[in-house]
Structure 1
Amino acid sequence: MDSIKRYMQFVKPYRWQIVGTILIGMLKFGLPLLIPLLLKYVVDDILLVDGRSAEEKTNELLMIMGAIFITFLVLRPPIEYYRQYFAQWTGSKVLYDLRDKLFDHIQRLSLRFYANNRAGEVISRVIHDVEQTKNFVITGLMNFWLDLATILIVIIIMFQVDITLTLVSIMLFPFYGFSIKYFYSRLRHLTRVRSQALAEVQGHLHERVQGMPVIQSMAIEDYEQEQFKKQNTNFLQKALDHTSWNAKTFAVVNTITDIAPLLVIGYAGYQVINQGLTVGEMVMFVAYIDRLYNPLRRLINSSTTLTQSIASMDRVFEFVDEKYDITDKPNAVECKTARGEVSFEDVSFKYEENEEYVLKKLSLEVREGETIALVGMSGGGKSTLVSLLPRFYDVTEGKIKLDGVDIRDVTVQSLRKQIGIVLQDSILFSDTVRENIALGKPDATMDEIIEAAKAANAHDFISSLPDGYETKVGERGVKLSGGQKQRVAIARVFLKNPPILVMDEATSALDLESEHLIQESLERLAANRTTFVVAHRLSTITHASRIVLLEHGEIVEVGPHEELMRKKGHYYNLFTIQEIS
C-alpha cells in the first residue's frame, strides 16, 4: 500500500475537484434510484387501485411520467457531462504531473543506468504504466465511492420497506468479501508480471526499430522474426496466465451475483402470497436488486481495474526509487565561469564494483587554454577519462579539479555548462536544424544561431536545404549526411561557448571533404579554450599542446608531437605504423 500513499501525493492538489466530481456523481446515480419507487407507486397506487376509472388512472400516470421525463431530460445531460469531464480532467492532470516528475527523474539518472537498461522498458514505465494508474483516480477515488454510496442508499430504502427481505438480499455479501480477498492478491502479482513482459517486448521492439538498417543490410529478417516471436510468446503466456485467473475471479463473483436476485424473487413472491407484501413492493424490491447488484458488479470490476492500477503504481515507483549515481553535495556551489585549468590527481575508475579498473592512478595537470590529445589503442581508457570530466561517471578513487576545486564540490548542472562536447556520432533530435543548434543556448536569437552555423562551416549547406534552418532533420538526424550532422553539432557547441571543450573521435567516420571542413571548424572552436581531443588518427592531433598516450588505463608518454617523435617510444611506433598504412 506504500505505492498508494505515494501516488496520493500527486492526487492531493486536485482533492476538491475529486470531491466535486463525487457530489455531481451522486446526483447522476441518485436519479435512477427514483425509478423503483415510481414502479411501486404506479403498481400499488394506480394500476391495482379499485374504484377508479381507466381515464383517471391514465391521466395520473401521464402526469407522473411527464414530471419524471422532464426531470431526467433537464438534469441528466449536464450532470453526465460535467461528471465525465471533471473525472477525466482530474485523471489527466494527475498523469501530467506524474510524467513530468518521471521525465525529471530520467534526466537525473546516470549513464551507468542507461548502459544497463533498455530505452523501451523505460518508455513503457512512463507511458503504459502511468496511463494504467489513471484508473485509480477515476475508478478508485470516484466511481468506487459512488457505487458504495449507491449500495448504502439502496439498502437503507429497502430496510424501510421490509427488513427480512433486505437481509435476504444482502446475505451473500460476505462471500463477495472472501472472493475479493482470495483472488485479488494473486491478480496483482500476475498483473505486474504481465506489465514487465510487455515492457520487455517494447524494449526489444524499440531496439530493432532503431537498428532496422542493420537487420535489412544483413538480410536477417527471418531470424529477427523468430527473436521477436520469443518475446511476444513470453508476453502472451503471461497475459494468458493473467486472463485465466481473471476469468476464474469473474466466474465465482458473477455466480454469486446471479444467485442473489433469485433468492429475493423467491422470498418476495412467498411474502406476497402469504404475508401481505404488496405487488408494488415486490416489483420495487426486484428493481432495487438490480440497482444493488449492478454497483456491486462494478465494484468487482473496479477491484480488477484497481489491482492493475496498483501493480502499475508499483512499477512506476520502483523506477522512481532508482538511485542517482551522480548527485550534488548538500553544500555544492555554482561554477560561474571556469578558467579551464584541469587537474587529474591519482584518478582510478571502474564501471562496476566487481570489474577491473579502467583507469589506474592517473595524474595529469592541464593548463588554461591547452589542447590535450588523448591517444592509444582501443580500450586504453581515453573516452572513459573525458567522460569523468562532466561527471557522467564519478571517479572511483582520486579527484578531478577544475580551477583548483574538486568537481564534486560544484553543482553538476553548473559544471556541465562549462563543458562543450562533440562526439563521433552526434545525436540530433527530430526537430528543425534551428532547434537542434539552439540546444546549445535555448534563448539564442536567430542571428546568434546563424553566426554559430557559419563558424561551424554549416551555414551554406543549411541554406541549401528545402526549408533552410526550419528543415526537420528526422530521428537522430537521419535526413543529413554524417558530415552535416557533425557540423550542426559543432554549431551547437559554438553557440554554447564553453571554456572547456571535449572532442571524442569527432572526425573519425567522415569523408575527406567533410573532415577538412570539420577539422577547420574544430580548430576555430578550440581556440582560447582548454580542449581535450580523443583521436585514433594521429595525423589530426600533431598540433596539440601535449599528447597523452594511454595504455591499459595508465599514462605511458606525455609531450608535444615533435618531442615524442624524437623519443622514438610508443607514440613514435604508433605514428609510424599509421603513416605507413
Structure 2
Amino acid sequence: MRLVFLRSWILLHISTRLNLTILSEFLSKLMRLPVSFFDVKQFGDIMQRIGDHRRIESFLTGQTLSVVFSLFNLVVFGFVLAYYHLSIFAVAVGASVLYAVWVILFLKQRRKMDTKRFDVSSANQSQLVQLIQGMQDIKLSGAETSKRWEWERTQARLFKWSIKSLSLSQFQQAGALLINQSKNIFITFLAAKAVVDGQLTLGGMMSVQYILGQFNAPIEQMIGFLQSWQDAQISLERLNEVHGLADEEPANEIRRKEWNNQQDIHLTKVTYTYPGAGNEPVLKNINLTIPHGQTTAIVGTSGSGKTTLLKLLLRFYEPQSGSISLKKQLVNPLGVENLYLLPGKASELNLKYISHKAWRQQCGVVMQEGFIFSDTIARNIAVADEIIDQERLYQAAHLANIHEFIESLPLGYYTKIGAEGNGISQGQKQRILIARSVYKNPQLLLFDEATNALDANNEAVIIRNLEEFFQGRTVVVVAHRLSTVKHADQIVVMEKGEVVEVGTHAELVFAKGKYFKLVSNQLELAV
C-alpha cells in the first residue's frame, strides 16, 4: 500500500514539474515571437499545440516508467519459458514479433489521421471562439442559423476523421487479436502434445500457461509504449514547429538598450508588404521625418497604410526595403536647418540595432484594437509594474479624464473589469488605454484613432490635458477628426501606401490638395 502511494506521489510530482516546464517554455517562446506570427496563426491552432503537452507528459511519466519494468519481466519470463520448452518459447517470440510488425505497419497511417484531426480540431476551436466573441454581430445580422450550420459542418468533418481513426484502430486491434489468439491456440496445442509425449507434466503445462501470460503482458505494454511514443513524438514536433521559429530578437545578437532620445525619426525609402497579401505593397517608398519634441498627425483614407506605418515604428514588422533610423538634427554655421549627417555617421542609429523591448518601453501606445485584461483598473493601467506607482497612476487617470469615473465605482481603482469583471463602454476603454500609455512616461507616443469613441467634450478635455504632457516628447497621431489633427506641428497625408502631402494645417488647406478635400468632406458632413 505504501509502495503504491509512493509511486503515485512520485509520478504526480514528476508530471506536475513536466507540465510546468513544457508550458512555461512554450509560453516563453510565444512571448519572444514577432507579432506577425499571431497575425497568421489561428487561436485554435495555438491552443491545440498547448493541449498536446498532455500526451508528452503521459508518455514520459506513465509509459516510460512502466516499460522499464516490462523489459525486466520480459527478459526474466522469456528465460523461464525457454527453460521449460524451447519450441513454445520460439513460437511466442515469433508471434510477438509478428504482432509488433503488424502494429508498426499502421504507424504511418496513424500519424496521417492524427494530423488531420489536429487541423480540424484547431479549426473547430477557433470557430467556437469566434462564435462566442461575435455573438452580438451574429444576432444583429440574424445569422444564428447559418453560423450554427457552419459549426455543424465543422463538427461533421471532425466526426468523419474520428470515425476514420476509430476504424483504423479497430482494424489494427482485430489483426492483433487474430495473431494473439492464433498464438495462444498453437501454444496450447504444443503444450498438450508435449504432455502426451511425456515431455511435460500436467503441472508443467499449467506453469507454461502462467509464464506465457506473464510473458504476454510486457509485450502488450511495449506495444502501448510504441503507440504512446508516436503520439508524444507528433506532439513534440508540433511544439518544436513553434520553438524552431526565429525569435523577434535573436539571443545571439546584441542590441542597444540605451540611446539618445533627443533625435528625429527618419524613414528612408521604406516599403512593406504583408505576407500572403500578393505583390502589392501596403507602404511604398516612404520618405518621412518625424521631428523630435513635436506632434505629427497622419491622415488619409481607410487602407492608405496609416496603421501599418505605426506598427513599423513600433517594430512589430520590419520593412522589406529602406530603413527607419534616429538622427540628430544639426544647424550648420551657415544657418541651414534640417541638415543631417550622412548614413554611417555616429549620429545616425538604425532602429534594427535597438532592442525591441527597450524601444517599446519608451513608447506609449493606443491602438484601435487595444486590449483590456480581465483584471483591476489599476492593473490595466500599470500593466508591466509589479508595484504600482500610485502618484503616476492618479496622474495618468486625470490626464485621460477617467479619474472621476473610477472613483465613483465601489472599489475604485481596484474594480475588476474585462471578461471576468464589470463591463465598460468603448469610450471608457479608450480612456483607460490612454491612461496606460501616459503611465509609462514615454518619450514617444503613438495614438491610432485614440479618441474616435469619445464624445466631443471628453475629447476636448483630454486633448487639453495632454498638451502639457506632450511637451518635449515625440507624438505621432493617426486620426480622421479635424479637431484632433489641426493643431499638429506636422500633418502627413497618405494615399494608397504613399506620402502625398506634408505640412501644417494652414499650409495644406492653402495648397488645396488631398488634405483640403478630406477637410472639406468632413466639414460638409458636420453641417
Q: TM-score, normalised by structure 1?
A: 0.81
- 1:382 paired residue among 299, 302, 306: 306
Alignment of 1:236-385 (within 5 A): 236-275=159-198, 277-324=200-247, 330-335=253-258, 338-352=261-275, 354-385=278-309
CA RMSD, 1 decimal: 2.4
Q: In the superposition, relative to structure 1, how do residues 382 and 172 fare at CA in structure 2: closer, same or farther (>3 Å)?
A: same
Aligned to 2:16: 92
Q: Unpaired segments of 5 or more residues in structure 2?
A: 328-347
Establish whether residue 186 from structure 1 lines up as the match of residue 186 from structure 2.
no
CA gap 1:513/1:295 in 2 versus in 1, 3 angstroms:
farther
Q: Which letter maps to 1:249? A: Q
CA shift at 1:524, angstroms? 4.8
| Corresponding residue for residue 562 of structure 1 | 506
**Overall identity of the aligned pairs, in %:** 28
Match of 2:80 in 1: 157
Larger-Rg structure:
1
Q: State how 1:204-223 maps to structure 2 within 5 Å.
A: 204-223=127-146
1:571 to 479, 497, 515: 515
Give how far 1:452 is off: 2.7
> In the alignment, is residue 125 of structure 1 matched against residue 72 of structure 2?
no
Task: Name the residue aligned to 1:462.
Answer: 406
Worse overlay, 527-536 or 161-170:
161-170
120, 136, 141: which one aligns with 1:197: 120
Q: C-alpha separation between the residues in 2 aligned to 1:534 and 1:493? A: 15
Q: Aligned AA for 1:549? A: V
CA distance in 2: counterparts of 1:114 and 1:164, whole angstroms: 62
Asked if the contact 2:272–2:321 (Cα under 8 Å) also holds between the matched residues in 1, the reply is yes
Distance 1:249 1:298 in 2: 16
Shift in Å, 1:517 = 4.3
Which one-letter code corresponds to 1:378 in the other structure? S
Rounded to whole Å, the distance in 2 between the matches of 1:480 and 1:292 is 66
| TM-score normalised per structure 2 | 0.89
- 2:70 corresponds to: 147
Once the 2 structures are TM-superposed, how far is the Cα of residue 336 of structure 1 from its aligned partner? 5.0
Note the C-alpha offset of 1:286.
1.7
Equivalent position amino acid for 1:540 in 2 = T
- Deviation string 1:359-416 (CA, Å, 9 cap, x unpaired) is 2222222222100000111122211111111111111221111243100011111111
Q: CA deviation at 1:331?
A: 4.0
1:227 to partner: Cα distance: 0.5
The CA distance in 1 between the partners of 2:204 and 2:507, in whole Å, is 108
- CA offset at residue 259 of structure 1? 3.1
Task: Name which of 477, 484, 493 aligns with 1:533.
Answer: 477
Deviation at 1:81, TM superposition (A): 2.1
| CA gap 1:524/1:477 in 2 versus in 1, 3 angstroms | farther
1:548 alignment partner, SS class:
strand
Aligned to 1:407: 351
Asked whether the equivalents of residues 120 and 207 of structure 1 are also in contact (C-alpha less than 8 Å), the reply is no
Which amino acid is 1:405 matched to? L
Given that 2:430 and 2:453 are in contact with CA atoms closer than 8 Å, whether structure 1 keeps it comes out as: no
Instruction: State the shift of 1:547 in Å.
Output: 0.9
1:435 corresponds in structure 2 to: 379
Say whether residues 1:450 and 2:394 are aligned partners: yes
Residue identity matched to 1:251? A
Report the Cα distance in structure 2 between the residues aligned to 1:446 and 1:390, rounded to whole angstroms: 27
The one of 388, 395, 410 aligned to 2:319: 395
Equivalences for residues 72-91 of structure 1 within 5 A: 77-91=1-15
In 2, distance between residues paired with 1:580 and 1:194? 56
| 95 and 336 in structure 1: CA distance in 2 versus 1, 3 angstrom threshold | farther
In 2, are the aligned partners of 1:110 and 1:324 still within 8 Å (CA)?
Answer: yes
**Rounded Cα–Cα distance in structure 1 between residues aligned with 2:467 and 2:419:** 29
1:473 matched residue in structure 2 = 417
Structure 1 CA distance for aligned equivalents of residues 86 and 384 of structure 2: 75
Secondary structure, aligned partner of 2:404: helix
Q: 1:306 aligns to what SS in structure 2?
A: helix
The alpha carbon displacement at 1:133 in A equals 1.9
In 2, Cα distance between equivalents of 1:266 and 1:316: 50
**Preserved contact between residue 437 and residue 491 of structure 1 (Cα < 8 Å):** yes
Whether the 8 Å contact between 1:339 and 1:368 is mirrored in structure 2 is yes
Name the SS for the 2:382 alignment partner: helix
Could you say if the C-alpha distance between residues 241 and 235 of structure 1 is closer, same or farther in structure 2, counting changes exceeding 3 Å?
Answer: same
Change (3 A) 1:196 1:132: farther
- 1:108 paired with 2:108, answer no
Matched residue, 1:498:
442
Residue in structure 1 matched with residue 426 of structure 2 by the alignment: 482
Instruction: After superposing the two structures, state which structure 1 stretch, 317-326 or 297-306, moved more.
Output: 317-326
What's the secondary structure of 1:532's corresponding residue? strand
Cα deviation, residue 535, structure 1: 0.6
For residues 479 and 565 of structure 1, what CA distance do their matches in structure 2 show?
Answer: 42
The number of aligned residues is: 504
Native 8 Å contact 2:266 2:289 kept in 1: yes
Deviation at 1:421, TM superposition (A): 0.6
Over 3 Å counting, the alpha-carbon distance change for 1:544 and 1:155 in structure 2 is same
The 3-state SS of whatever aligns with 1:364 is strand
Q: Report the 3-state secondary structure (helix = DSSP H, G, I; strand = E; otherwise coil) of the residue aligned with 1:322.
A: coil
Structure 1 residue 447: Cα displacement: 4.3
Rounded to whole Å, the distance in 2 between the matches of 1:530 and 1:408 is 19
8 Å Cα contact 1:440-1:492 kept in structure 2 = no
- Cα deviation for residue 504 of structure 1 reads 0.4
Tell me which residue corresponds to 2:455.
Answer: 511
Give the letter for the 1:420 counterpart.
G
> Does structure 2 retain, via aligned residues, the 8 Å contact 1:440–1:495?
no
How much has 1:327 moved relative to structure 2? 5.0
Letter paired with 1:450: Y
| TM-aligned CA distance change 1:565 to 1:313, over 3 Å | same
Hey, what's the Cα distance between the residues in 2 that align with 1:524 and 1:119? Answer: 41
Map 1:544-563 to 2 at 5 A.
Answer: 544-563=488-507
Change (3 A) 1:173 1:563: same
Shift of 1:513: 4.3
Distance change >3 Å, CA 269–CA 257, structure 1 → 2 = same
Going from structure 1 to structure 2, the CA distance change for 1:475 and 1:335 (only over 3 Å counts) comes to farther
The answer to whether the 8 Å contact 2:295/2:490 transfers is yes
Maintained 8 Å contact 1:328/1:408: no
Deviations 1:450-490 (A, max 9, x none): 33323322222122223222222122987111121112212
Question: Which secondary structure state, in structure 2, belongs to the residue aligned with residue 343 of structure 1?
Answer: strand
Gaps of at least 5 residues in structure 1 are 1-76
1:105 offset after TM fit, Å?
A: 2.1
For 2:473 and 2:490, the matched residues in 1 are separated by 14
Amino acid at match of 1:261: N
Per-residue CA shift, 1:519-551, capped at 9, x if unaligned?
A: 344445433310000011122211111111112
